[in-house]
């Protein structure tokens, strides 16, 4: 059983080397870098393990990933007070769209993480983000679900029955994208931002 699980984890990681995955990684890094270059911030959301990944994504940007550099603004829509208030008063389907409405500006970028693509709260958040003229990226799994085709840029990790392997691929992609963003913004010859 353990060997089979290890083989599945390796298969999830190897999904990143597919041409469409490499294209997504490049375009996502470019889109995030452009957002920061125009003075925007990143809003990130997900449910369950994907919300934990959203928090991880945000802290790697507000903190630092590999080298010392200036902080990059990112918010995981994960505040328990906000989420319980909105869920109680407006329904759980509104928790992320309300966060986008509160914090989003046209120069910003909204990133949705969903292993199924069927989370209605993320569908509504993408709709709100697009209505407010934010850029959008979706990390999806399985068939892409209801969210397929909704974002400006999407990546669907297909071929896995369970969320854990999809999340493993998503997190590896997140780390690679952050590394590329840092390189573009701080260490490339055409550096956009300066480190403090």
On the CB side of 170, CA atoms within 13 Å amount to 32
Work out the angle between the directed axes of helices 2-14 and 163-182 (0-180°, nearest 10): 40
Mean pLDDT of 84-100: 98
Rounded Cα distance between 119 and 142, Å, is 13
Q: How far apart are CA 166 and CA 173, in angstroms?
A: 11
| pLDDT band (50, 70, 90) for residue 188 | confident
Q: Return the percentage of the chain with pLDDT > 70, whole number.
A: 96
Mean pLDDT, the chain, rounded, equals: 95
Is the model's pTM score more than 0.85? Answer: yes
pLDDT band at 193 (very low <50, low <70, confident <90, very high): low
Which of these, 125, 177, 116, lies nearest to 151 by C-alpha position?
125
CA atoms of 69 and 62, how far apart (whole Å): 10
Token pair for residue 79? 């505040």
Strand partners, 118: none
The rounded distance, in Å, linking the Cα atoms of 156 and 117 is 9
Structural domains of the chain, ranges and CATH numbers in brackets: 41-186 (3.40.50.10490)
For 113-170, the pLDDT digits (tens) are 999 999 999 999 999 999 999 999 999 999 999 999 999 999 999 999 999 999 999 9
Question: Hey, which residues does 141 pair with through a beta bridge?
Answer: 157
**Which pLDDT score, from 0 to 100, does residue 196 have?**
47
Question: Nearest-CA neighbor of 78 among 113, 128, 106?
Answer: 113
Average pLDDT over residues 5-29: 96
């Amino acid at each position: 059983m353990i060997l089979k699980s290890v083989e599945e984890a390796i298969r999830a990681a190897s999904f990143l080397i597919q041409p469409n995955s490499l294209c997504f990684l490049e375009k996502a890094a470019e889109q995030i870098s452009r957002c920061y270059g125009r003075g925007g911030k990143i809003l990130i959301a997900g449910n369950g393990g994907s919300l934990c990944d959203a928090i991880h994504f945000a802290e790697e940007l507000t903190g630092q990933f590999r080298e010392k550099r200036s902080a990059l603004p990112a918010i995981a829509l994960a505040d328990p007070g906000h989420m319980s208030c909105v869920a109680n008063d407006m329904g759980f389907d509104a928790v992320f769209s309300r966060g986008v409405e509160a914090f989003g500006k046209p120069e910003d970028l909204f990133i949705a993480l969903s292993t199924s693509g069927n989370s209605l709260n993320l569908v509504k958040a993408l709709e709100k983000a697009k209505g407010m003229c934010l850029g959008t990226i979706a990390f999806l799994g399985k068939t892409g679900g209801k969210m397929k085709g909704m974002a400006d840029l999407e990546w669907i990790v297909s071929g896995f029955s369970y969320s854990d392997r999809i999340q493993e691929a998503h997190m590896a992609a997140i780390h690679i994208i952050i590394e590329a963003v840092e390189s573009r913004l701080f260490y490339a010859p055409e550096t956009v931002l300066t480190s403090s």
